Amino acid sequence: CLNGHTEPLEGRAQLTARGFKLKQLFPTFEPMKTSFGELNGDADITGRGNSVAKLLGTANGNLKMLINDGAISRELMELAGLNVGNYVVGKIFGDKEVKINCAAADFDIKTGLATTRLFVFDTENAIIYIDGTANMATEQLDLTISPESKGWRLISLRSPLYVRGKFIKPDAGVKAVPLLLRGAGMVALGVIAAPAAGLLALVAPSGGEPNQCAPLLEQMKAGKAPKTVKD
């Protein structure tokens, strides 16, 4: 909603999604037509400004989102025109399609700066942690992507990846530092349980089908990182 009695305008968006099929987001996008992915999410965001860009650049609030049972591939990223996504997926998984058991994201937004509290992908071969910020005022990304293999040599990447730069055309590459076990680090710092507990509230029953996000988030809520290995 917008409050036109103030200068600049005040805006607030409160959004809720439960059981939203991802293929409904892109009904004409052929690779998504076979997707079983399902989205649950909550957003509560306020901002001030006389344009969408200004409203986002001053935004405060939070965004929580779960995707249950999806898939990702380099081909999908390429068809969607996401060159950076294509690069990241290729670096971690190669050319094959990868099943996503769960994607969970919790962002804190202050003065247009969205900061990850917890952003994790649970795939068949790896847990992927994403840390960093998206600055909606300057339209800049600054993300670190840390994959952790579920088994010996299932992924070959030895360093974290970075994605940084303008939203419209960010740069991506390999950081010149060794890959550390990010999940264990978050547990040690005590910063994993609270966002996991908040995201668990988004796990909704879906026609008797098990939600792949529940066991991952329950484990994190208990202060434990998913089991991975350091190649």
pLDDT tens digit sequence for 50-99: 888 898 999 999 999 998 877 776 666 665 555 677 767 777 777 777 78
Query: pTM of the prediction?
Result: 0.81
Domain assignment of residue 154, given as a range: 2-221
151-180 pLDDT per residue, tens: 665 455 677 888 999 988 888 888 876 666
pLDDT tier, 186 (very low <50, low <70, confident <90, very high otherwise): low
Share of residues in the chain with pLDDT > 70 (%)? 71
Has residue 27 been placed in a domain?
yes
Has residue 117 been placed in a domain?
yes
Has residue 94 been placed in a domain?
yes
Range of lowest pLDDT (35-49, 89-103, 132-146, 160-174): 89-103
* pLDDT at residue 19 is higher than 70: yes
Question: Bigger pLDDT: 134 or 191?
Answer: 134
Question: Bigger pLDDT: 27 or 43?
Answer: 43
Has residue 229 been placed in a domain?
no
* pLDDT at residue 34 is higher than 60: no
Has residue 135 been placed in a domain?
yes
CB 213 within 8 A of CB 104: yes
Count of domains forming the chain: 1
- Measure the CA–CA gap between 129 and 125, rounded to whole angstroms: 13
Has residue 228 been placed in a domain?
no
Q: What is the DSSP string of the chain?
A: -EETTSSS-EEEEEEEEEEEEHHHHSTT-GGGTT---EEEEEEEEEEE-SSHHHHHHT-EEEEEEEEEEEEE-HHHHHHTT-HHHHHHHHHHHTTS-EEEEEEEEEEEEETTEEEEEEEEEEESSEEEEEEEEEETTTTEEEEEEEEEESSTTS----S-EEEEEETTS-EEEE-SSPPP-HHHHHHHHT-SHHHHHHHHTT---BTTBPPTHHHHHHHHHTT-PPP-B--
